Chain A
Amino acid sequence: MTAPTVTRRAGGPDDAVGGVAPREVVRPGTVEEVADVLRAAAADGLTVVPVGGRSKLTWAAPPSSCDLLLDVTGLDRVVEHVAGDLTVVAEAGVRLADLQAQLGQAGQLLGLDPPEDGATLGGVVSANASGPRRLHYGTTRDLLIGTTVVLADGTVAHAGGKVVKNVAGYDLGKLYTGAHGTLGVVVSTTWRLHPVPPARRLVTLELPDVAAAGPLSVALARSTLTPSAVELIGTAGGPGRLVVLFESIAESVTDQARATVALLGGGEESEELPADLGRRPGGADDVLLRLAHVPAALSPVLRALPAGTAVAAHAATGVSYAAVPAGEAVDVLPRLRAAVAEHDGTAIVLRAPEGLVDRLDHWGPVGDALDLMRRVKERFDPERRMSPGRFVGGL
């Protein structure tokens, strides 16, 4: 059913996505081979779940079916890095860390820093993963300027291009961002890059109450300071640590760190990045949630969490992560969703211990555009073969 260079093998328990083991795992090496696989899968009526580094397999709901696990890590070429244009074209299976290392040699970077080890570009796009520096650089939707996808029927489609400013046609890159493989397989990505800043300085402020970070991050946002990240690490109802990161020329980071200490009323200056900066909170026994809310609502959102919940918040952006103890999650989640809804907020489950997944509503309420989303899915994948059931509303 597939081209001769495609690696294929039987699926096993180690390949399971959300507890669903695939019948077969295929690892194509080229875009054309991905198209071949999908055409063949379409002919055989097979369901397909694309994966990259498998670092975010739990970020979407478990699939209702997974005949074929489509591993894109064979698509691992950095196709074109044009330093003068600050752009790079790289295949979906390229690991983000590897790309950053290569770009770094030219003094450039891709402004995405999700902490998941082994993450591939395709996975970062499909899961819309981001980290602390989203405050400064934005997220996938801001940095992805072109993409190639293979649709459910094997059609290879490009969108966007290689130039930063481009408004020709629909911006389909946005549509594939965060779609969790339900609209096709992302096979290639083109990015806008930034220069690596020459200097760095951090201000770390210990907070007796983590919720105090709310007004402080608003004060930072309303100032003329330009931090790359404002990261809060702590426990709900308990103490926390606010880390403000500056990355620019030496004179600027020194000045801004000093001004930040004055603005926050304290804080220690340093140059080393703490090892846990940007790490998701909690452990494998917890239910990891991503909370989104209007940025200034950080304090009330933190107060809505059960005391003792580990949190890591990209303060000033309106995105926070919380690790709710597994025993409390079923009760807590609906209450938390009601509380964050007051701040236009949402809470989605990124990871839950085995056995609990089925008892949690993964995505929560979606809003009045769900029917339109269904129509989009229906057009792109009428037979519901791409990552079925993984997305909002059972899409």
Chain B
Amino acid sequence: MTAIAEPDTSQRTAALAERLRAAVGTERVLTDRTQVRTYECDGLANFKVTPAIVVLAENRQHVVDTVRLCSEAGVPFVARGSGTGLSGGALPRADGVLLVTSRLRSIGAVDADNRQVTVEPGVINLWVTRDATPFDLAYAPDPSSQLVCSIGGNVAENAGGAHCLKYGFTVNHVLGAEVVLPDGEVVHLGGRAPEHPGYDLLGAFIGSEGTLGVATELTLRLIRVPEAVQTMLVGYRSVEDAAGTVSDIIAAGIVPAAVEMMDALAIEAAEAAVSCGYPEGAVAVLVIELDGPEVEVEAQFRQVEEIARRRNAFETRIAADAAERALMWKGRKSAFAAVGRISPSYFVQDGVIPRTKLPEVLAEIDRMADERGLRVANVFHAGDGNLHPLVLFDDAVEGQAHEAEELAGAILELCITSGGSITGEHGVGQEKRMKMGKQFTAEDLDTMQLVRCAFDPDGIANPGKVFPTPRLCGERPGVHKGEHPVQAAGLGEVF
């Protein structure tokens, strides 16, 4: 923030706060510094910004009014659900409005015949499956934070979870959305039926990290609960054997519902936190889940056991019931938080590599960590190559946080050079926007900006996220290279 801009900003936001209070009610607009500080970060706590104004919306009209008033005042807004995002996607703006949608929590009736349900964005992920269970239906996307994360946030980040391998990620399970565009206009993208004529703007909106508007209602696809589910936990003495098992399963033509991997450090952390009783002495474990018709699951389960055995698995446990299955998953799903037990601090990364590159990339991560004298715990969705390296460090040690951050960044670049992506489910957000230029060319990013400019010509929806080198909407792609002269002169930044 520049010294000149500050007084203007505060006057502008003070005036906006008054108008917001009149529109949505005084009690829903927070400007008190101690109150708004509650919202200064999301799940990525190393970035913190205190928002000028927080609006606690309770219905669609509150969202529309807030966005429209922001648009009229030219003040940026950032939408936020439960705040569990891990890339700083919901990091507020000091000169803007943080629009909280977590109070929009109504769930429509489950339409069992059409296998769908319409919900508001603040609905918690797991509530959808809870409501669908009596109809033998479920909502497939299951981020590890599914107990607390909101659907609106899942849609913004296109957050997937462990079962993406078979069921696809959030974008494959959202049929329609009611969206408040950055000028306050309400549009309906997709719907309850497939194949709505026109551009698939819903597909572009999902995963756009709050830069194209705010969803106020979402129609979700539900899946039929499969006839059978079987989960096994397999222990290995080497990471290579565990990774090799994953490749062999896929090569055998089996598409598991999930294949999750944890290395020794991640296992140690999970044990310390939740005593999940993983095989003793394991250097790596896999949690493999198959689902589908019973006869299929049984036959393929036997095949997977055989593959694991050939890959030198020393212990295989099969969950006898739902409770045992839950315990296997508990270790995996609590692994991030558990790392706090074995290290004062850590960075969690979210990169993707082609599955066949798993063994060499994991070895390279090890080498890179050793070189810097740091430890990296690996816990990830092995089936689709979505790595979650946790870079451990001690912030009491001078310079170690910086070293760890550099290592985390180097791992992401390794993902890119291996043919992968900088994010599989957490999003780009604030954290990884400077890496976008490594994965995409300037032309690619300019083309994405065309979409951005169509939705948000004034650039007020979550500006400063996702894109590394923002451009002004009047520009043509491929024409201007490098920094725009207006930006270079410090005269303006639209994104």
A residues adjacent to B (C-beta < 8 A)? 82-87, 107, 128, 138-139, 141-142, 149, 151, 153-159, 161-175, 177-179, 183, 194-198, 218, 221-226, 248-249, 251-252, 255-256, 290, 292-296, 317-319, 343-346, 348, 363-364, 366-370, 372-373, 375-380, 391-393
User: How far does the Cβ of B468 sit from chain A's closest Cβ, in whole Å?
Assistant: 11
User: CA separation between A262 and B423, bound complex, in Å?
Assistant: 46
**Chain B residues whose C-beta falls within 8 Å of the C-beta of A363 in the assembled complex:** 197
Q: Which one of B193, B226, B250, B355 contacts A343 once the chains associate, using CB atoms below 8 Å?
A: B193
Q: Which one of B169, B171, B385, B478 contacts A174 once the chains associate, using CB atoms below 8 Å?
A: B171
User: CA separation between A344 and B116, bound complex, in Å?
Assistant: 13
- Could you list some 21 contacts between A and B, CB below 8 A? A155-B478, A158-B441, A164-B165, A165-B421, A166-B423, A167-B159, A167-B207, A167-B425, A168-B436, A169-B428, A170-B448, A171-B206, A175-B199, A177-B203, A221-B224, A248-B293, A248-B296, A367-B188, A367-B196, A376-B450, A376-B454
User: CA separation between A4 and B308, bound complex, in Å?
Assistant: 55
Closest to B426 in A: A167
**Chain B residues whose C-beta falls within 8 Å of the C-beta of A222 in the assembled complex:** 112-113, 115, 136, 224
Q: Which one of B247, B293, B452 contacts A224 once the chains associate, using CB atoms below 8 Å?
A: B293
Is B354's CB under 8 angstroms from A379's CB? Answer: no
Is A296's CB under 8 angstroms from B169's CB? Answer: no
User: How far does the Cβ of B216 sit from chain A's closest Cβ, in whole Å?
Assistant: 14
Is B385's CB under 8 angstroms from A84's CB? Answer: no
> Within B172-207, which residues are at the interface with A (CB < 8 Å)?
172, 181, 186-189, 191-204, 206-207
B124 within 8 A of A: no
B470 within 8 A of A: no
Q: Would A171 and B295 be within 8 Å (CB), given that A85-B354, A294-B192, A344-B191 are in contact?
A: no
Closest to A183 in B: B199
User: CA separation between A167 and B384, bound complex, in Å?
Assistant: 13
Q: Which one of B198, B352, B432, B447 contacts A151 once the chains associate, using CB atoms below 8 Å?
A: B447
**Chain A residues whose C-beta falls within 8 Å of the C-beta of B381 in the assembled complex:** 165
User: How far does the Cβ of B434 sit from chain A's closest Cβ, in whole Å?
Assistant: 12
For B, the interface residue count at a CB cutoff of 8 angstroms equals 95
**Chain A residues whose C-beta falls within 8 Å of the C-beta of B76 in the assembled complex:** none
Is A87's CB under 8 angstroms from B354's CB? Answer: yes
B420-461 vs A, CB cutoff 8 Å, 1 = contact: the mask equals 111111111000100010011101111110111111000000
> Within B351-373, which residues are at the interface with A (CB < 8 Å)?
352-356
Is B356's CB under 8 angstroms from A224's CB? Answer: no
Q: Would A292 and B194 be within 8 Å (CB), given that A157-B447, A226-B293 are in contact?
A: yes
Q: Beyond the given A163-B419, A377-B199, please list 7 additional residue pairs across the A-B interface where CB-CB is below 8 A.
A: A151-B447, A169-B428, A171-B171, A171-B204, A222-B112, A366-B197, A366-B198
B349 within 8 A of A: no
B464 within 8 A of A: no
User: CA separation between A194 and B166, bound complex, in Å?
Assistant: 10
User: How far does the Cβ of B4 sit from chain A's closest Cβ, in whole Å?
Assistant: 32
User: CA separation between A392 and B417, bound complex, in Å?
Assistant: 40
Q: Would A224 and B224 be within 8 Å (CB), given that A158-B444, A171-B207 are in contact?
A: yes
Q: Would A151 and B422 be within 8 Å (CB), given that A169-B466, A175-B201, A370-B198 are in contact?
A: no
Is A165's CB under 8 angstroms from B424's CB? Answer: yes
User: CA separation between A147 and B242, bound complex, in Å?
Assistant: 32
User: CA separation between A367 and B157, bound complex, in Å?
Assistant: 26
User: CA separation between A301 and B115, bound complex, in Å?
Assistant: 18
Is B352's CB under 8 angstroms from A166's CB? Answer: yes
Closest to B386 in A: A165
Is B115's CB under 8 angstroms from A295's CB? Answer: yes
Q: Which one of A87, A128, A179, A221 contacts B115 once the chains associate, using CB atoms below 8 Å?
A: A221
Closest to A179 in B: B199
User: CA separation between A182 and B264, bound complex, in Å?
Assistant: 52
B97 within 8 A of A: no
User: CA separation between A141 and B194, bound complex, in Å?
Assistant: 11
Is A346's CB under 8 angstroms from B171's CB? Answer: no
Is B194's CB under 8 angstroms from A252's CB? Answer: no
User: CA separation between A319 and B477, bound complex, in Å?
Assistant: 37
Q: Which one of A169, A198, A367, A379 contacts B198 once the chains associate, using CB atoms below 8 Å?
A: A367
User: CA separation between A383 and B426, bound complex, in Å?
Assistant: 37
Is B450's CB under 8 angstroms from A380's CB? Answer: yes
**Chain B residues whose C-beta falls within 8 Å of the C-beta of A319 in the assembled complex:** 194-195
Is B255's CB under 8 angstroms from A172's CB? Answer: no
User: CA separation between A373 and B225, bound complex, in Å?
Assistant: 36
Is A375's CB under 8 angstroms from B193's CB? Answer: no
Q: Which one of B136, B447, B454 contacts A375 once the chains associate, using CB atoms below 8 Å?
A: B454
Is B450's CB under 8 angstroms from A379's CB? Answer: yes
Is B436's CB under 8 angstroms from A169's CB? Answer: yes
Q: Which one of B115, B187, B300, B447 contacts A155 once the chains associate, using CB atoms below 8 Å?
A: B447
Task: For the complex of A and B, list the 5 residue pairs with the smallest distance between their C-beta atoms, beginning with the closest.
Answer: A174-B203, A195-B253, A224-B227, A157-B447, A296-B113
User: How far does the Cβ of A278 sit from chain B's closest Cβ, in whole Å?
Assistant: 16
Is B356's CB under 8 angstroms from A84's CB? Answer: yes
Q: Would A156 and B443 be within 8 Å (CB), given that A138-B172, A167-B158 are in contact?
A: yes
Is B114's CB under 8 angstroms from A166's CB? Answer: no
Is B293's CB under 8 angstroms from A292's CB? Answer: no
User: How far does the Cβ of B136 sit from chain A's closest Cβ, in whole Å?
Assistant: 7
Is B204's CB under 8 angstroms from A172's CB? Answer: yes
**Chain A residues whose C-beta falls within 8 Å of the C-beta of B115 in the assembled complex:** 221-222, 295
B160 within 8 A of A: yes
Is B352's CB under 8 angstroms from A225's CB? Answer: no
B292 within 8 A of A: yes
Is A346's CB under 8 angstroms from B196's CB? Answer: yes
Q: Would A168 and B422 be within 8 Å (CB), given that A84-B250, A87-B354, A194-B255 are in contact?
A: yes
